[in-house]
C-alpha cells in the first residue's frame, strides 16, 4: 500500500505526517517478526528492570561500578521504549502513520538515550581503569559525588545532542515523499526525505557521531590499553584473572553496542541501504538491550547473588 503524501500536507505543501514502509506484504512474515521483537522487548525490559532493582535494594552493590550499571539499565529501558512499541504497531497494523511532532519526539529520545549510553560506557571504562591502575586513590577519585556528576554529564550530553540534532533536522522542509523506509524515526532515513540540499545536515550528523560515538570509544580503548598493561605486570595469576573478570562483561557490551552503532552512523552515505540499516537497527535497539542484562547476570557473581535475593524477596511477598 502506497500513501498519498498530498493528504498529509498543509497549504504550504509541507508534509505534516509520515508513514513507515510496510515490512512485508506477507502477513505471516510480519507476525513472525512481531513475535520475535515482542519477545526480545519483554526480555529486555524484564532483565534491565531486575538488574536496576537488584542494585537499588542490595547495599553490597552500592559501589561506583554498579551505580553505572544501574544507570545503563535505565538507559536501555528508555532506549527500547522510545522505539519498539511503535515498531510493533507498524508490523501488525495498517495505521503506520506518525505525525511530524511524534517523529521528532521519537528521534529526540532515541538520540538522547543512545548518546548518553556512549558517554556512560566511557565512564564505566574510566571506573575500571581507576580501580585496577590506581587502587589506592579509587575511593577519592570515584566518590559518590564524582559518579553522580559523570552520570549527569552523560545524560546531559545526550539531551543536548538530541535537542540539537532533532531541531536541526526538523527545521528542514519536507515536501514529499512521506514514507520512512525504516522501523523508526532515525536520523539518516528522515534526512533522506527532506527537500533541497541536506549536505550541511548530513555533515552535522556525521560530526556529532564522530564526537559522541568515536570520542568515548577512544577513551574506552585508552582505558583498556592502560588496564591491559597493568594486568600483564601483576605477579599473581589469580590477580590477573580477577582484574580481567571485572572488565569482561563491560568489554562485551561495548563491542556489541559500538560495533553496530559505528557501522550505522560512521560508514559512508554511498554504502547505506535500507535493508542493512533495518537489520542493524534491530540489532542495536533490541538485541543488545536484551543481551546486556544476560551478559552481566551470567558473568558477574555479585549480580547473580543480588538477583537471587531480589527474586527471593518477591517470592516471599507473593506467598506471604
pLDDT at 1: 47
Q: In 3D, which of 211, 295, 298, 302 has the Cα closest to residue 256? A: 295
pLDDT at 317: 44
Mark residue 138 as left, alpha or beta (left: phi above 0; alpha: psi -120 to 50; beta: remaining): alpha
CATH (domain of 33) = 1.20.1070.10
Q: Which domain holds residue 258?
A: 27-318
> Could you say which residues of the chain have pLDDT below 50?
1, 6-8, 11, 316-320
pLDDT at 281: 77
Q: Looking at the domain assignment, is residue 1 inside a domain?
A: no
Mean pLDDT computed over every residue of the chain: 82
pLDDT at 107: 92
Whole-model pTM: value is: 0.85
Q: Looking at the domain assignment, is residue 212 inside a domain?
A: yes
Judge whether 162 and 120 are in contact, CB under 8 Å: no
The structural domain count of the chain equals: 1
- What would the pLDDT profile of 149-184 be if each residue is shown by its tens digit? 999 999 999 999 999 989 988 888 887 677 888 888
Cα–Cα distance for residue pair 197/104, rounded to 1 Å: 20
Q: Looking at the domain assignment, is residue 177 inside a domain?
A: yes
Q: Looking at the domain assignment, is residue 12 inside a domain?
A: no
- What would the pLDDT profile of 235-283 be if each residue is shown by its tens digit? 777 777 777 777 878 888 888 887 777 776 666 665 566 667 777 778 8
Q: Looking at the domain assignment, is residue 17 inside a domain?
A: no
Q: Looking at the domain assignment, is residue 266 inside a domain?
A: yes
Q: Looking at the domain assignment, is residue 224 inside a domain?
A: yes
Q: Looking at the domain assignment, is residue 19 inside a domain?
A: no
Amino acid at each position: 500500500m502506497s500513501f498519498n503524501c498530498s493528504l498529509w500536507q498543509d497549504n504550504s505543501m509541507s508534509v505534516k505526517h509520515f508513514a513507515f514502509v510496510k515490512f512485508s506484504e506477507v502477513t505471516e512474515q510480519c507476525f513472525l517478526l512481531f513475535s520475535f521483537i515482542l519477545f526480545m522487548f519483554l526480555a529486555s525490559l524484564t532483565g534491565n528492570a531486575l538488574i536496576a532493582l537488584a542494585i537499588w535494594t542490595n547495599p553490597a552493590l552500592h559501589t561506583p561500578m554498579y551505580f553505572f550499571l544501574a544507570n545503563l539499565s535505565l538507559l536501555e529501558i528508555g532506549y527500547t521504549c522510545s522505539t519498539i512499541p511503535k515498531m510493533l504497531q507498524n508490523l501488525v497494523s495498517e495505521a503506520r502513520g506518525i505525525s511530524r511532532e511524534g517523529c521528532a519526539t521519537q528521534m529526540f529520545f532515541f538520540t538522547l538515550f543512545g548518546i548518553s549510553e556512549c558517554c556512560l560506557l566511557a565512564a564505566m571504562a574510566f571506573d575500571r581503569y581507576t580501580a585496577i591502575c590506581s587502587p589506592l586513590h579509587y575511593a577519592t577519585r570515584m566518590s559518590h559525588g564524582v559518579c553522580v556528576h559523570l552520570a549527569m554529564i552523560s545524560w546531559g550530553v545526550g539531551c543536548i545532542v538530541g535537542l540539537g540534532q532533532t531541531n536541526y533536522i526538523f527545521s528542514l522542509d519536507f515536501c514529499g515523499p512521506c514514507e520512512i523506509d525504516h522501523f523508526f524515526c532515525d536520523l539518516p532515513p528522515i534526512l533522506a526525505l527532506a527537500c533541497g540540499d541536506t549536505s550541511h545536515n548530513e555533515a552535522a550528523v556525521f560530526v556529532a557521531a564522530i564526537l559522541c560515538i568515536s570520542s568515548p570509544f577512544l577513551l574506552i580503548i585508552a582505558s583498556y590499553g592502560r588496564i591491559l598493561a597493568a594486568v600483564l605486570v601483576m605477579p599473581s595469576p589469580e590477580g590477573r584473572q580477577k582484574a580481567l573478570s571485572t572488565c569482561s562483561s563491560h568489554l562485551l557490551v561495548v563491542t556489541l553496542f559500538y560495533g553496530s552503532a559505528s557501522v550505522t552512523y560512521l560508514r559512508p552515505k554511498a554504502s547505506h541501504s535500507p535493508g542493512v540499516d533495518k537489520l542493524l537497527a534491530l540489532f542495536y535497539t533490541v538485541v543488545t538491550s536484551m543481551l546486556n542484562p544476560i551478559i552481566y547476570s551470567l558473568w558477574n557473581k555479585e549480580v547473580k547473588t543480588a538477583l537471587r535475593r531480589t527474586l527471593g524477596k518477591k517470592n516471599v511477598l507473593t506467598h506471604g
